[in-house]
Structure 1
């Protein structure tokens, strides 16, 4: 069925559309791409992957930088300063996820994607050139630079991830989950080993007596990654799902919250717990490994850190393989179970296991690997749920940016809280308790996932978008939907069409 419309000239405004007609048209055309749209869909998927590699690199840049700064400024780089510099990216990410989500809604996704890329480039450039009259001034400069970078990194979540999900949905519904996971969570996780690899290469070239050069070159490398996708993003096409389903005005936030509050609790709660554990353990893992290595040798610390990052990667592949076989919710529960097993194993035997560094690093890596299984499904659920409720909430509707950004910001709040609490927990309770608390978060995560997270395995975004639009009209909502030539005014089916 085609979209119903009358014979009037609509060049000056949107057309009136029956919700049933729009639903049929949306599902009928969501996967019919012309050659240009098909190529754009593949390029969108690839560009999202390259863009999120940049995010993963920035997320893990401080892992070895913390070790270097502690070596260069043993008196000035206190735990308070280290926490502030490390947390700046997360605070910026929270701001970026909300603001860039609004930009997606009001100005379009293309503007948001180009803006996030430029912010990452600006922040990385400022960080590379950071100076101060004294070490304290240098670290304040770095704090501001990392905050700017964080706004760009945070903005990638509501802008880049959603476009990758829609493009994957258009190209392959059956394999959308695994494809999406590989171009989002895999590249984010790969940012860890990449950051350490760059560090080791630069360290080997410059030598351990030129640590100032080492950390600045590592920061500078972060400028190049986002530039690889800038040209494409300036020429990109929005996905067909976004063009046909974007609500630009009269966004029905209350109706979404009213229907999907349960799912919102599940997705936001699970993301908060995941980030609370994973981010501080990632940022400070280099410091932890350095503390158990004899003399805290920087190169050996980096080598063990690289092994830890590599061990964490298989969790991404396992999650991608399992998501369609046992379901997304069950895969997430399995990932949280890994927090319990390895968190308790490391925490309860910390004094003994840290004397066997290979065993400690392997178990630490497995803890992170199971966390990657959680993030596989968490990112996937947040984007899949955009079409029907909070979590990524309005998704293909206008709040695809706003509400996704808001829920992702709650997750990053967990990361910021975890990073802020990490050092006090170590100082007051002991290092073992950072792992025991990870196990506690695993138990909580399982409960939240079981009772609140919906299983979205095999869901077609076009179907869900159509169901959501029907729900809106059943509750009396009317408004403009779509972009440019696809725009229309949704009206209830029993109303007379003008």
Structure 2
């Protein structure tokens, strides 16, 4: 399917994979003001509700501490891990299923579904109850799983929509824009969740802890609801209209073409989440084990946790700046190197640093900030830029799902490592993951330079055609638009002859 205004025109003399940016600009009509506004709105809508994802991911940091106080006998290490992993397991399924959905059915459809799931899961978590405390925790596991399916689906749906819209609106700044609407809201969700926790705890008091955690879960429903209407009305990107494969997706050819990139994005995401997620979820318990009288002083633990989250934020902005200055791959390797440096400092000097709380929190925050600077910013960006539009959601979702599998493994191993090897070893292992992350990035991540995503689409289409694929690219919506253009031209010619 195509016309004279298609993104790329392939010929024997000039293969599609070799088209230059000048060719793209020549053959593609400039977007109108209305189209630019629609793209900007799509970027905002795609990223806005990711604050709720960061909020949901970070909420258990202090809730774990609260449950340990309120339900000391019932909230064992096994139950704590089960409740924390419920979100992760849901996210893994959500990332895979919604990743496929947003390629087949469109980005908007996927975003609407994920928004509804987060709201329904949040309501169930708020109302969690049972004939026993154990029963209540099992209901919470189910509710958090539903939330996880929604938040997991947000990753491929929101990120692909934001990247494609940014490609049409601000190509040269696509990388920083993508980071600002994806990793920034996710990272901001941490200190935001702690701030909400402190406010609710101050209002309800430490004698009403059940009210505190229920209200905190309920507040998580507000953010996705606030952008639901705009997501429902958001426009479909031209990239998706032009490059989607609605049926007969050649997955064997996809795997053959992208196997190396998949090892890179999946591997890097696994290592990043293996370190970051358990350190986020259980950082509250680490700090609580150091803070004097933490069992009765939730405020003090939460305040230190808020400082930790705040120190981790600057890395997001620095990574967004560096991705153009030194490149995507180099920025990610710098971030993984930070795990090595600060992980070894904290791990080797843990007994000394734990006696100086401000210094411990600063080093801990710097380690997490380096994670945001490198893989936190870049792995999502590279997972959208390394794959063609037709399979971008699928490959992104698979990469993110492998990452969340790493998070689940890390969460499962975190407390046993502390119990058997000591708290310092969680940081030493983070340093080892930093080395592995640098190697995976160097050998498997493609040298993406921020070029127009249409170039990637053209190369992929050429590869499919050269390997005997006979399917169709594009959506019926684009075909209808092309037919409308032809009809208008014919009408204009007819009226002119009259």
TM-score normalized with structure 1 length: 0.91
Structure 2 CA distance for partners of 1:173 and 1:352, relative to 1, 3 Å: same
Q: In structure 2, what is the Cα distance between the partners aligned to 1:18 and 1:371?
A: 41
Task: Establish whether residue 437 from structure 1 lines up as the match of residue 429 from structure 2.
Answer: yes
SS at match of 1:294: coil
SS at match of 1:465: helix
Q: In structure 1, what is the Cα distance between the partners aligned to 2:29 and 2:354?
A: 53
The equivalent residue for 1:381 is 382
The equivalent residue for 1:127 is 125
> How many angstroms does 1:232 deviate by?
1.0
> How many angstroms does 1:222 deviate by?
0.2
Residues 313-359 of structure 1: CA deviation (Å, up to 9, x unaligned): 00001100100001111111100011011101111111110010000
Q: Which 10-residue stretch deviates more, 133-142 or 96-105? A: 96-105
Residues 167-209 of structure 1: CA deviation (Å, up to 9, x unaligned): 1111111111001101100110000010000001111111111
Matched-pair contact (CA < 8 Å) for 1:96–1:152: yes
Structure 2 CA distance for partners of 1:411 and 1:52, relative to 1, 3 Å: same
Structure 2 CA distance for partners of 1:470 and 1:376, relative to 1, 3 Å: same
The equivalent residue for 1:82 is 80
> How many angstroms does 1:413 deviate by?
0.5
The equivalent residue for 2:450 is 458
Matched-pair contact (CA < 8 Å) for 1:88–1:144: yes
Task: Establish whether residue 448 from structure 1 lines up as the match of residue 440 from structure 2.
Answer: yes
The equivalent residue for 1:226 is 224
Q: In structure 1, what is the Cα distance between the partners aligned to 2:358 and 2:343?
A: 17
The equivalent residue for 1:346 is 346
Matched-pair contact (CA < 8 Å) for 2:418–2:425: yes
The equivalent residue for 2:166 is 168
> How many angstroms does 1:3 deviate by?
1.9
Q: Which 10-residue stretch deviates more, 264-273 or 246-255? A: 246-255
Structure 2 CA distance for partners of 1:29 and 1:238, relative to 1, 3 Å: farther
Structure 2 CA distance for partners of 1:467 and 1:31, relative to 1, 3 Å: farther
> How many angstroms does 1:107 deviate by?
2.3
Task: Establish whether residue 419 from structure 1 lines up as the match of residue 420 from structure 2.
Answer: no
Q: Which runs of 5+ in 1 are unaligned?
A: 6-14, 388-395, 489-498
Q: Which 10-residue stretch deviates more, 166-175 or 299-308? A: 166-175
> How many angstroms does 1:31 deviate by?
7.0
SS at match of 1:323: helix
Structure 2 CA distance for partners of 1:30 and 1:461, relative to 1, 3 Å: farther
Q: In structure 2, what is the Cα distance between the partners aligned to 1:300 and 1:31?
A: 58
Choose the corresponding residue for 1:139, options 137, 142, 145: 137
The equivalent residue for 1:392 is none
The equivalent residue for 2:461 is 469
Q: How does 1:48-447 map to 2 (within 5 A)?
A: 48-296=46-294, 297-373=297-373, 374-387=375-388, 396-397=389-390, 399-447=391-439
Q: In structure 2, what is the Cα distance between the partners aligned to 1:183 and 1:54?
A: 12
The equivalent residue for 1:8 is none
Q: In structure 2, what is the Cα distance between the partners aligned to 1:141 and 1:220?
A: 15
Matched-pair contact (CA < 8 Å) for 1:26–1:244: no
Structure 2 CA distance for partners of 1:318 and 1:416, relative to 1, 3 Å: same
Matched-pair contact (CA < 8 Å) for 2:104–2:244: no
> How many angstroms does 1:439 deviate by?
0.3
SS at match of 1:195: helix
SS at match of 1:340: helix
Q: In structure 1, what is the Cα distance between the partners aligned to 2:478 and 2:24?
A: 10
> How many angstroms does 1:260 deviate by?
2.1
Matched-pair contact (CA < 8 Å) for 1:340–1:443: yes
Matched-pair contact (CA < 8 Å) for 1:480–1:487: no
Which contiguous aligned blocks of 4+ residues in structure 1 show a shift greater than 4 angstroms? 17-31
Structure 2 CA distance for partners of 1:27 and 1:474, relative to 1, 3 Å: farther
Matched-pair contact (CA < 8 Å) for 1:280–1:415: yes
Matched-pair contact (CA < 8 Å) for 1:3–1:22: no
Residues 442-473 of structure 1: CA deviation (Å, up to 9, x unaligned): 01111111111112122210111112111211
> How many angstroms does 1:134 deviate by?
1.5
Q: Which runs of 5+ in 2 are unaligned?
A: 481-498
TM-score normalized with structure 2 length: 0.91
Matched-pair contact (CA < 8 Å) for 1:336–1:445: yes
Matched-pair contact (CA < 8 Å) for 1:123–1:148: yes
Q: In structure 1, what is the Cα distance between the partners aligned to 2:355 and 2:473?
A: 61
SS at match of 2:172: coil
Q: Which 10-residue stretch deviates more, 448-457 or 306-315? A: 448-457
Q: In structure 2, what is the Cα distance between the partners aligned to 1:196 and 1:324?
A: 32
Q: In structure 1, what is the Cα distance between the partners aligned to 2:319 and 2:195?
A: 24
Matched-pair contact (CA < 8 Å) for 1:31–1:170: no
Residues 207-261 of structure 1: CA deviation (Å, up to 9, x unaligned): 1111111111111110101001110111111111111111111212212221221
Matched-pair contact (CA < 8 Å) for 1:272–1:411: yes
